Structure 1
Amino acid sequence: MQKITTFLWFDGQAEEAMNHYISIFKNSKVLSVTRWPKGHPQEGQVLVASFELDGVQFQVLNGGPQYKFTEAMSLSIDCKTQEEVDHFWARLTEGGGEPGRCSWLKDKFGVSWQVVPEQLPRLLQDPDREKAGRVMGAMMQMGKIEIDKLEAAAKG
């Protein structure tokens, strides 16, 4: 059982968001769905639902328009290859998402994500601070991270 679960508040888009995320991540599934009861103005829509993305549990709520997502909270995806980076970047920005800078993006629901290749933190933490500085400079010029450009910057 997972001790801490991310809970995402939507305004009528909870089920669409959950299904979209499940379609992007392998080993993902719906765990439970509770719908608004008969007679409620949102009858039949998801009230709350639980799901897993690659084994990590999340919950969604159709709570109304009171709260919006901000970049103050993001979900970070660790990637091993450029192919993975490209996959997640494309799928999460499709349909109205917004690419950001330095691995950040906002999906069509307003949720902020970071798509981070494993090479980035390793190169930024290199004991050779000049090398790490070159990598930081290269990253600051990117939206979607390009591993080959990071490695070229590290080499000088």
Structure 2
Amino acid sequence: MSGLTLCLWFDGQAEQAARFYVAAFRDGGKPAELGPTMRQPADAPVLTAEFTLAGQRFLGLNGGPAFKPSMAQSLCVECDDQAQIDHFWDRMSDGGQQLDCGWVTDRFGFAWQIMPRAILSMMRDPDPARSARAFAAMQTMKKLDIAALRAAQDAA
């Protein structure tokens, strides 16, 4: 654990979201754990729901309708292969929206970047032409395709 917890603001859906995210990550082959919930007072609705996704701690806070998720913050899922990309793309966009360049919003309004682990090395290729080709290919995609990104990078 990093000692850093991300707090996500919900309007009454923190526990539902925690269960959804944990199931998506477990089914996608990544470690995930549902933690405790807190109610104040004890018979009140859930105030917070704790969960861990791929080693990162989260706190879902039912803070009410005052704040909504924004595309200005996103969560990145680094995927090892195309099967993981396909899984997280389908799962996280279920009830949400599929966007360009590997981005989706989930049913709770949070933005996720579903990306291959190799994308950063492609973008940082020491050959600027290779990097530019991979970047240009990515800009034409919704769900990222590792084979197509590598083919574009390697094209002469």
Report if TM-score (shorter chain) is over 0.5. Answer: yes
Q: Give the Cα–Cα distance (whole angstroms) in 1 for the partners of residues 33 and 40 of structure 2.
A: 21
Identity %: 40
Q: Which runs of 4+ in 1 moved over 3 A?
A: none
Residue in structure 1 matched with residue 129 of structure 2 by the alignment = 130
Matched AA of 1:84: Q
Deviation at 1:36, TM superposition (A): 4.0
Q: Structure 1 unaligned segments of length 5 or more: list them.
A: none
Q: Does 1:48 align with 2:52?
A: no
Q: Alignment partner of 2:50: what SS?
A: strand
Number of aligned residues:
151
Q: Does 1:28 align with 2:27?
A: no
- The normalised TM-score by structure 1 is 0.91
Deviation at 1:65, TM superposition (A): 0.2
Q: Give the Cα–Cα distance (whole angstroms) in 1 for the partners of residues 54 and 119 of structure 2.
A: 22
Matched AA of 1:107: D
Q: Give the Cα–Cα distance (whole angstroms) in 2 for the partners of residues 35 and 23 of structure 1.
A: 23
Deviation at 1:47, TM superposition (A): 0.3
Q: Alignment partner of 1:115: what SS?
A: strand
Q: Give the Cα–Cα distance (whole angstroms) in 1 for the partners of residues 55 and 118 of structure 2.
A: 23
More off after superposition, 113-122 vs 5-14: 113-122
Q: Alignment partner of 2:100: what SS?
A: coil
Q: Alignment partner of 1:130: what SS?
A: helix
Deviation at 1:154, TM superposition (A): 1.0
The alignment yields a C-alpha RMSD, in angstroms, of 1.3
Q: Alignment partner of 2:12: what SS?
A: coil
Q: Alignment partner of 1:133: what SS?
A: helix
Matched AA of 1:77: V
Q: Give the Cα–Cα distance (whole angstroms) in 2 for the partners of residues 22 and 3 of structure 1.
A: 20
Residues 100-131 of structure 1, C-alpha deviation per residue, up to 9 Å, x if partnerless?
Answer: 11111110100111111022111111111111
Residue in structure 2 matched with residue 154 of structure 1 by the alignment = 153
Q: Structure 2 unaligned segments of length 5 or more: list them.
A: none
Matched AA of 2:96: G
Matched AA of 1:83: A
More off after superposition, 113-122 vs 7-16: 113-122
Q: Does 1:105 align with 2:104?
A: yes
Q: Alignment partner of 2:21: what SS?
A: helix
